Amino acid sequence: MGMVRARSCGRLVVAAVLLTALAACDGGWAQFRADAERTGYNPRETALVAGNVSGLQVAWSVPIPGIVQPDGGGNVAVGSGKVFLAATDGTVRAYVAATGAVAWSAPAPGATGVVVTGGRVLVSSNDRNVNALDAASGARVWRRPTLGYPSTPTVVGDRVYVVGSDSRLSTYDVATGAPVGTSFPVAASGDIAVSSGDGSIYLRTDRTVESAAREVQAYDADGTLRWSVSVPGPSGNPPPALTPVLAQGRVYLGGRAYDQLTGELVWASSTADWYSSPAYAEGTLYGLRTFGLGVTALDPATGQTRWSATGLGDAFPDFGDGPAVTPGVVWVNAGRRVRALDAASGALLWSSDPAVVTADAFMPVVAGGRVFSVSGTDVAPRSTLTAWRVP
């Protein structure tokens, strides 16, 4: 497979990913885990590099009415100079990325995910609707009812994919909301990964099979089941709720790699005790070590360890969105602090001030020369959105 990307913002190599590429040209973070393949990698972030991140300082911090649920990365998107955030108070808000000022707010009951693309902000909400809002004003452009509670939207080109709690996958046109193709049943509701190459779809089901294993399935673009495998949890523990990650013709789940076409196990790492999905960037996998309290980098072809960084926090949660990666830098929430590590060696480059408490379950979002992180948990009275930048 392989990810299809534009090599520059002026020349796109594949017309099918036009809208996605245009939305990314401002260095934004368009959707959950950065892209439809869920790699957690933002290659367009060039302002923050290994040589200057030690100078990061808090740019602003604002309280959020309500709370932001894990997976927090699915509720934060960055683009067009704004940060879009969905919270449990039934509102999606746009914050000015430079100042933290509220640009606009719009109702979104029980919002479960937000995406920004093509001048639209796509929001799934627990009133069983997918909404498209104008990114500049927050005005509703279209609304499409779903048969169940929708998952975080996933965008590839001019299409948005949503899985409802009725376990059906539906596809809509980003601009108009018109249904595209045929809705078809899948094994579960939840977050998915979609190949921008052939449109195949990958999801982790909620069904536990065998002993301490969880089922993962792949579908062709027309809804035909491609394969189904059972994925065990790390170190003999119950399997976590992982989002599949697609790269280089493989599907990565925790510390395992599967062939994208056949589902055949390619390798399983004994050192990658990961309770979150890994990130893939420039030929390396990065994952949070649950029992080693650190980050491990693996060769994605063989599963061999390239480096391991430990001692980054008191403990990692039993769930989470995993690391984020920008060129040369790995970003994690660990020990209630945001950390930046050298992508080549694992050396610690920067830690946020411990007075600014962050939530370990949330992936940092890095875009437009800023690092964004959400504090609070699903039991906290409210959350806080904080931005850091290099002065």
Residue 225 belongs to some domain of the structure? yes
Q: How many domains does the chain have?
A: 1
Residue 161 lies in a domain: yes
User: What is the tally of helices (H) and strands (E) in the chain?
Assistant: 1, 32
- In the structure, what pLDDT confidence band is assigned to residue 6 with cuts at 50, 70 and 90? very low
Give CA–CA dist 267/270, Å, rounded.
10
Most confident range, picked from 43-47, 64-68, 179-183, 319-323:
43-47
Read off the pLDDT band of 318 (50, 70, 90): very low
Q: Flag whether 173 is in a domain.
A: yes
Residue 149 tokens read as: 């509670």
**Within-domain flag for 3:** no
Each residue's pLDDT tens digit, 156-196: 999 999 988 778 899 999 999 999 987 888 876 667 999 99
Q: Does residue 13 carry a pLDDT above 50?
A: no
Beta bridge mates, 245? 252
pLDDT surpasses 70 at 12: no
CATH code for position 53: 2.130.10.10
Pairs from 156-161 (Cβ < 8 Å, separation ≥ 24): 156/16, 156/17, 156/20, 156/36, 156/194, 156/195, 156/196, 156/199, 157/16, 157/17, 157/18, 157/19, 157/20, 157/196, 158/18, 158/19, 158/118, 160/115, 160/122, 160/130, 161/192, 161/194, 161/201
Note every long-range contact of 346-349, with CB atoms under 8 Å and residues 24 or more positions apart, other chains counting: 346/295, 346/297, 346/307, 346/308, 346/309, 347/309, 348/309, 348/312, 349/50, 349/53, 349/54
pLDDT above 90 coverage of the chain, percent: 53
pLDDT at 227: 95
Cβ atoms of residues 97 and 387 within 8 Å: yes
Residue 1 domain flag: no
Euclidean distance between CA atoms 85 and 105, whole angstroms: 10
**Cα 368 from Cα 349, distance rounded (Å):** 19
Give the position of tokens 């520059």: 8
Please compute, for residue 94, the number of CA atoms within 13 A of its CA located in the half-sphere on the CB side.
23
pLDDT in tens, 32-53: 999 999 999 999 999 999 999 9
pTM, to two decimals: 0.89
pLDDT at position 22 over 60:
no
Instruction: Categorize the per-residue pLDDT at 5 as very low, low, confident or very high, splitting at 50, 70 and 90.
Output: very low
How far from chain centre, in Å, is Cα 271? 23
Parent domain of 377: 16-389
**How distant is the alpha carbon of residue 66 from its chain centre?**
21
pLDDT of residue 363: 84
| pLDDT score of 272 | 65
Asked whether residue 188 is assigned to any structural domain, the reply reads yes
Q: What is the pLDDT of residue 384?
A: 86
Integer Cα distance of 56 and 141 in angstroms: 37
pLDDT of the residue at 183: 87
> Which of the two residues, 67 and 121, has the higher pLDDT score?
121
Q: Is 111 a domain residue?
A: yes
- Residue 210: is it exposed, middle or buried by C-beta count within 10 angstroms (0-12/13-18/19+)? exposed
Q: Does residue 23 carry a pLDDT above 50?
A: no
Q: Give the per-residue pLDDT at 202.
A: 95
Domain annotation covers residue 9: no
Give the position of tokens 């809208």: 19
